[in-house]
């Protein structure tokens, strides 16, 4: 049985490594394959890039390294990417976590930092000196008198929606604003975002469609 | 089996030690057997407020390090017939002289013999705070109607909630100046309680006599007509499970012609 299959696709060459084959066989056959390709290829010298798929098998770092090592012996060939049909449970959970909106009803007290992966709908109390920090967007319904940080540490696409009038600071990615110095309306519909000049700016929730069309579509607006 | 309660605040000068002394005395007056532990090592005060400073032979560090037995270090307050005891802090050591496990051990040794073990926590949230909280089942957070004290109380409540004590922390608002609160110049009781979102155990009015009696080594609760003393007595009753209504700010102010007159002059 063949463990390594080369196929041509519309968008290039794909090498499929059979998931049920032994890895040593795969390495051997892969070497043979490249050896043969090298010989066929001698005429024209245009470099070729391959996508490698591993099906239902997940390669670890050392296995990937071994494959890359084989390919690196042939200067004409390179690997574009190695993909798989499966992923680790931990990675999957992390992905779910970072893609979903978390409901948070905690009391965040002075000196405490509440760190959320992904978006957060906050209905708790954020006291002065406390910090609510999310890697994604922050939607505020609760009382908010501390520091709100969206898009931590570097996602400047994130926004903060809600009444930040009483907050001490709003932060998105690396941009910081001291709320008392700005004229922020006492309004639940306030949206804080990073504008084209990379400065924090305030607008109304009705403008989300214009400033963040992708997010707006994801939230189900049209 | 008694209950160990830590009295803490974060901020200094809000009245932790005064509260510990008066609450302990009030509990002892009501018949409970109380032991007070001063954990403010290096800056001990509780003994002075109780007027027991001249009777210290051994201290808590001596007990922890095995230089003295617990019963040798305990000081009995003779005014309350075997009801009130003090384990004083060391004066010539610092907060790191004690470890949380040592405090836990001492408290565990005291609890079978006492109804209440009150731990007087030092200001701050460092080693001294960690030591004091380690020994406690319950916490009382003392604050004053000042923004800085409330902020620190908030911080401390956050730390206490992480400690998983068997009961949620409760709040005492101390040094209330009624005229300022009624005028809206100070934060009011509801505002503070709502902000900190913990149960209010009681309020204590500010009174000059608290200072003058402390100076004499007699806790203010001994004077049962004093408004601050009433506050402490009410707190002691609530701790023992009684339902006592909160003292009223306005009625306290209208209590008598003289106190009104005093306030009136005080404002000028």
Give the residue extent of every domain in chain A: 4-86, 93-218
Residue A64: C-alpha distances to residues A53, A60, A70 (Å): 12, 6, 10
Cα–Cα distance, A59 to A19 (Å, whole number) = 10
Sign of CA dihedral B223, B228, B230, B232: negative
Tell if the CB–CB gap between B158 and A110 is shorter than 8 Å.
yes
Domain at B245, CATH number: 3.40.50.300
- Contact call for residues B116 and B5 (beta carbons, < 8 A): yes
Residue B217 marked in a binding site: no
In this prediction, residue B258 has a pLDDT band, given cuts at 50, 70 and 90, of low
Q: Which residue of B has its CA nearest to A124?
A: B197
B38 has a chain A CB within 8 A of its CB: no
B232/chain A closest Cα distance in angstroms: 28
Residue B172: C-alpha distances to residues B2, B20, B47, B234, B246 (Å): 21, 11, 22, 11, 11
- Contact call for residues A40 and A18 (beta carbons, < 8 A): no
Helix (H), strand (E) at residue A174: none
Cα–Cα distance, A141 to A120 (Å, whole number) = 11
B154 has a chain A CB within 8 A of its CB: yes
Tell if the CB–CB gap between A110 and B195 is shorter than 8 Å.
no
Question: Which architecture does CATH list for A93-218?
Answer: 3 Solenoid (2.160)
Both structure tokens of B213: 């009696």
User: For chain A, which ranges sit under pLDDT 50?
Assistant: none
- Contact call for residues A164 and A142 (beta carbons, < 8 A): no
- Site from B157, B158, B187, B194 to mutate, A interface, most A CB atoms within 10 angstroms: B158
pLDDT tens for A197-218 read 999 999 999 999 899 988 888 8
Across the range B247-255, mean pLDDT stands at 64
Can you give the residue range of the structural domain that contains B142?
A: 3-267
- Residue of A180, A110, A112 lying closest to B143 (CA atoms): A110
Q: What is the pLDDT of residue B260?
A: 57
Tell if the CB–CB gap between A128 and B157 is shorter than 8 Å.
no
- Contact call for residues B116 and B35 (beta carbons, < 8 A): yes
Total number of domains in chain B = 1
All residues of chain B having their beta carbon less than 8 Å from the beta carbon of residue A129 are 151, 154-155
In the DSSP assignment, the letter for residue A10 is T
Q: What is the pLDDT of residue A49?
A: 87
Across the range B233-258, mean pLDDT stands at 78
User: How many beta carbons lie within 10 A of that of residue A70, not counting itself?
Assistant: 18
- Contact call for residues A29 and A18 (beta carbons, < 8 A): no
Q: What is the pLDDT of residue B182?
A: 85
Q: Please report the DSSP string for B173-221 in residue order.
A: EEEE-HHHHHTTSS--HHHHHHHHTSEEEEEEE--HHHHHHHHTT--GG
All residues of chain B having their beta carbon less than 8 Å from the beta carbon of residue A112 are 158
ipTM field: 0.74
Cα–Cα distance, B60 to B85 (Å, whole number) = 13
A–B: how many Cβ contacts below 8 A? 24
B177 has a chain A CB within 8 A of its CB: no
Q: What is the pLDDT of residue B263?
A: 57
Residue B193 marked in a binding site: no
Across the range B52-59, mean pLDDT stands at 92
In this prediction, residue B268 has a pLDDT band, given cuts at 50, 70 and 90, of very low
Average pLDDT, chain B: 90
Please state the pTM of the whole predicted model. Answer: 0.77
- Site from A105, A106, A107, A109 to mutate, B interface, most B CB atoms within 10 angstroms: A109
- Residue of B125, B49, B120, B56 lying closest to B90 (CA atoms): B56
Both structure tokens of A166: 């009483």
Of A107, A109, A125, the CB nearest to B155: A109
- Site from B155, B159, B163, B191 to mutate, A interface, most A CB atoms within 10 angstroms: B155
- Contact call for residues A79 and A52 (beta carbons, < 8 A): yes
pLDDT tens for B211-231 read 999 999 999 999 989 999 999
- Residue of A167, A141, A138, A164 lying closest to A152 (CA atoms): A138
Angle made by CA atoms A72, A76, A81, in degrees to the nearest 5: 60
Within 13 Å and on the Cβ side, how many CA atoms surround B99? 5
- Contact call for residues A192 and A159 (beta carbons, < 8 A): yes
Residue B262 marked in a binding site: no
Tell if the CB–CB gap between A111 and B158 is shorter than 8 Å.
yes
pLDDT tens for B156-199 read 999 999 988 899 999 999 999 988 888 888 889 999 999 999 99
B195 has a chain A CB within 8 A of its CB: yes
- Site from A105, A106, A111 to mutate, B interface, most B CB atoms within 10 angstroms: A111
Tell if the CB–CB gap between A128 and B152 is shorter than 8 Å.
no
Residue B153: C-alpha distances to residues A212, B11, B90, B170 (Å): 40, 7, 26, 11
All residues of chain A having their beta carbon less than 8 Å from the beta carbon of residue B154 are 109-110, 127-129
- Contact call for residues A218 and A202 (beta carbons, < 8 A): no
Sign of CA dihedral A56, A62, A68, A71: negative
B151/chain A closest Cα distance in angstroms: 7
Q: Please report the DSSP string for B211-249 in residue order.
A: HHHHHTT--GGGSTTSHHHHHHHHHHHHHTT---PPPPH
Residue B69: C-alpha distances to residues A161, B37, B63, B143, B173 (Å): 61, 15, 6, 35, 37
In this prediction, residue B264 has a pLDDT band, given cuts at 50, 70 and 90, of low
All residues of chain A having their beta carbon less than 8 Å from the beta carbon of residue B155 are 109-111, 129
All residues of chain A having their beta carbon less than 8 Å from the beta carbon of residue B158 are 109-112, 130
Across the range B78-102, mean pLDDT stands at 92
Chain centroid to Cα A74, Å, comes to 33
């Amino acid at each position: 049985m063949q463990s390594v299959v080369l196929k041509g696709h519309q968008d290039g060459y794909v090498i499929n490594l059979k998931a049920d084959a032994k890895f040593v066989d795969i390495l051997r056959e892969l070497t043979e394959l490249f050896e043969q390709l090298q010989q066929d290829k001698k005429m024209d010298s245009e470099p070729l890039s391959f996508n490698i798929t591993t099906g239902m098998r997940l390669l670890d770092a050392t296995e990937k390294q071994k494959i890359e090592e084989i390919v690196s012996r042939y200067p004409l060939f390179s690997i574009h990417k190695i993909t798989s049909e499966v992923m680790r449970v931990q990675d999957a959970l992390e992905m779910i976590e970072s893609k979903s909106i978390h409901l948070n009803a905690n009391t965040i007290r002075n000196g405490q930092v509440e760190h959320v992966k992904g978006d957060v709908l906050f209905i708790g109390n954020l006291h002065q000196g406390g910090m609510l920090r999310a890697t994604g967007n922050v939607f505020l319904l609760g009382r908010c008198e501390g520091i709100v940080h969206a898009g931590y540490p570097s996602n400047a696409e994130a926004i903060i929606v809600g009444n930040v009038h009483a907050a001490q600071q709003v932060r998105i990615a690396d941009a910081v604003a001291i709320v008392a110095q700005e004229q922020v309306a006492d309004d639940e519909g306030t949206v804080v975002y990073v504008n084209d000049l990379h400065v924090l700016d305030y607008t109304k929730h009705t403008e989300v469609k214009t400033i963040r069309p992708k997010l707006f579509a994801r939230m189900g607006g049209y | 089996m008694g209950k160990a309660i830590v009295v803490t605040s974060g901020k200094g000068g809000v009245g932790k030690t005064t509260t510990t002394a008066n609450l302990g005395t009030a509990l002892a007056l009501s018949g409970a057997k109380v032991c007070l532990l001063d954990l403010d090592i290096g800056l001990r005060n509780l003994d002075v407020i109780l007027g027991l400073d001249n009777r210290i032979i051994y201290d808590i560090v001596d007990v922890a390090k095995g230089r003295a037995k617990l019963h040798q270090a305990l000081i009995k307050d003779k005014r309350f017939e075997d009801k009130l005891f003090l384990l004083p802090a060391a004066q010539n050591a610092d907060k790191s002289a004690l470890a949380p496990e040592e405090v836990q051990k001492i408290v565990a040794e005291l609890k079978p013999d006492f109804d209440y073990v009150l731990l007087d926590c030092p200001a701050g949230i460092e080693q001294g705070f960690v030591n004091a909280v380690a020994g406690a089942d319950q916490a009382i957070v003392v604050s004053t109607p000042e923004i800085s004290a409330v902020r620190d109380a908030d911080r401390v409540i956050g730390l206490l909630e992480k400690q998983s004590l068997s009961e949620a922390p409760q709040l005492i608002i101390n040094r209330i100046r009624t005229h300022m609160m009624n005028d809206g110049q100070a934060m009011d009781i509801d505002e503070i309680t709502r902000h900190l979102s913990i149960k209010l155990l009681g309020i204590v009015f500010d009174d000059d006599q608290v200072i003058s009696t402390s100076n004499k080594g007699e806790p203010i609760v001994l004077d049962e007509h004093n408004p601050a003393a009433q506050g402490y007595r009410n707190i002691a009753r609530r701790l023992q499970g009684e339902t006592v209504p909160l003292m009223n700010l306005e009625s306290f102010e209208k209590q008598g012609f003289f106190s009104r007159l005093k306030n009136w002059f005080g404002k000028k």
